[in-house]
Chains A and B, each alone.
Chain A
Amino acid sequence: MISFINILLNGLLLGGIYAITAVGLSLQYGVARILNIAHGEFIMFSAFITWMLHTTLGINPLLCLAVAGPLMFVLGYLIQKFLYKTLKDKTPSPAAFEGSSMLLAFGLLFVIQNIAVFIWGNNIEGYTFMAYSVYLGDIRLSANRLVILVLAVLICALFYLFLTRTRPGKAIRAASQDPEAAGLMGVEINRMLALCFALGALMAGFAGVLISLAYQLQTTMGMQYTIIAIIVVVLGGLGSIPGSLIGGFLLGIFGSIVSGIEPGLTMAAYYLLFMVLLLVKPSGIFGR
């Protein structure tokens, strides 16, 4: 019984990270139709900025949410405005744009990763933060992972409120359902797309900070998080924040079960799940 609850709780802790990793990608692909393969690189970059600020200047990593997040937002905005927007104007059709934007993302992946390797090298890094345990009855949980879970859910909830209750959020949702009709109703589509991409990068920034609190960092780790984000999005459905949360937790619990059996097979099991999903239900478990 205890071990079952243990696996479940560990799955939830892992799921929080997975959810916040996926939210940004889901938004970028669901609304702006950009499958941002470089999403994980934004996460990695933000994680390393946090690591650097913490280890060299002694800044509390949680404060880095306010630094790395907005920094990624600005970076995302500029990339959309100068790269994706230009590409979109030069691409004849939306379908062609989906393909060419993926190639652009591939390019970004290597550029960002190589800049990171140049600055921080290629070693495994990390720091300790709240590295003690809290007890929930008989169950031992690491404090930093609990903090990650709480913050991830909180950030997702705030983001959800932003999308459902505010003016720009409303415009983003309209643009995701029918961009042309939204434009004719007075929504400035290009600005919304830029905002969308920037918000996706912001979420990647937050995810990076949270990941750095408890996990090892490496400048080549981005792809792994991109893949996880894609799997979560497929699980939970595109462009939906509650979907990303549910998908994140499902994958987390699945991962925690697999790693309870054989930790080395976790990533392989994820890929297997991903392939099965694509074959059986490509629109996602909760997709229409």
Chain B
Amino acid sequence: MQILHVEGLTKYFGGLAAVAGVDLQVEKGEILGLIGPNGAGKTTLFNLISGTYAPNAGKIFFDGTKISGMKPNAICRKGLVRTFQSCRVFPEMTVFQNVLLGALFGAPETKTWHQAAAETKEILDFVGLSEFSDTRAGSLTLANQKRVELARALATKPRLLLLDEMMAGLNPTEVGEAMELVTQIREKGITIVMIEHVMKAIMNICNRIIVLHRGQIIAEGTPAEVSTDKTVIEVYLGE
């Protein structure tokens, strides 16, 4: 079963095609890794799928419904949500309020304040942030801010979660914890697409990997296939 289907997606910035005719499918329940050198168009692809940018050409279908052209808030409510590469928590709000916001506004069905608060508590437990519930989000460490973002995204009850470099800047212990968390999220039935530079994470938890270079897909396959692919090695190690 496909949960996401992207057809001929193209986005120009000035004369430059950041994403050039990308076709991709995401299967329900998988963890798909998205890798590529800097400037390959990975984040732009996420921005297109989540509705932040409108594509110049191409279509995006989420669970059979066309979502290209929809506003980000509407896409979020359909169950497709993303996190940011640079942490984007609401710094002046507490951790609890950050996550509550996702539960109140991002979920497909409207909840009472009480329900949303109960869910927020549950999610904070799940990601291991309960002790920081009343801390101002801006004062947390990077690793914990990333958890807040993840918790906030989970509070919107997504079916597809786009993670943008969740492990960047984390130390090895934190990377291990984050990998564990991502696997647990998948076990909850949430499909995941992740952009990642931390190869250890990508190789260990992804079912499938797509390699992007200059806005185009240059390789696709299991971690083992991709890591031995000639073009991929060329792109990463230099022509």
Contacts and interface: CB of A to CB of B under 8 A. Distances in A.
Nearest to B108: A186
Contacts of B107: 186
A7 interface: no
B100 A184 contact: no
Nearest to A171: B105
B102 interface: yes
B173 to A, nearest CB: 27
B120 interface: no
Interface in B102-126: 102, 104-107, 113
A94 B106 CA distance: 25
- A178, A180, A186, A188 — which one has the most chain B CB atoms within 10 A of its CB? A186
Nearest to B92: A177
A27 to B, nearest CB: 15
Contacts of A186: 73, 76-77, 102, 105-107, 156
B90 A180 contact: no
A18 B105 CA distance: 34
Interface string B6-40: 00000000000000000000000000000000000
B50 interface: yes
A179 to B, nearest CB: 11
Interface in A142-194: 167, 170-171, 173-174, 177-178, 180-189
B52 interface: yes
A61 to B, nearest CB: 36
Interface of B: 50-52, 71-73, 76-77, 81-82, 84, 88-93, 97, 100-102, 104-107, 113, 152-153, 156
Contacts of A177: 90-93
Contact of B73 (A167, A170, A173, A188): A188
Contact of B88 (A170, A178, A188): A178
Contact of B90 (A173, A184, A188, A189): A173
Contacts of B106: 185-186
Report whether over half of chain A's contact residues are helix, strand or loop; otherwise say mixed: helix
Given A170-B100, A178-B90, A184 B105 contact: no
Given A167-B104, A178-B88, A184 B113 contact: no
B138 to A, nearest CB: 9
B72 A170 contact: no
Given A170-B100, A180-B52, A181-B84, A187 B105 contact: yes
B104 A170 contact: yes
Contacts of B100: 170
B104 A183 contact: no
A185 B72 CA distance: 8
A205 B50 CA distance: 39
B107 to A, nearest CB: 7
A182 to B, nearest CB: 8
Nearest to A167: B104
A170 B101 contact: yes
Contacts of B153: 185
Nearest to B102: A185
6 contacts: A170-B101, A177-B91, A184-B76, A185-B76, A185-B152, A185-B153
A170 B100 CA distance: 9
Given A177-B91, A178-B88, A184 B97 contact: no
Nearest to B138: A177
B92 A185 contact: no
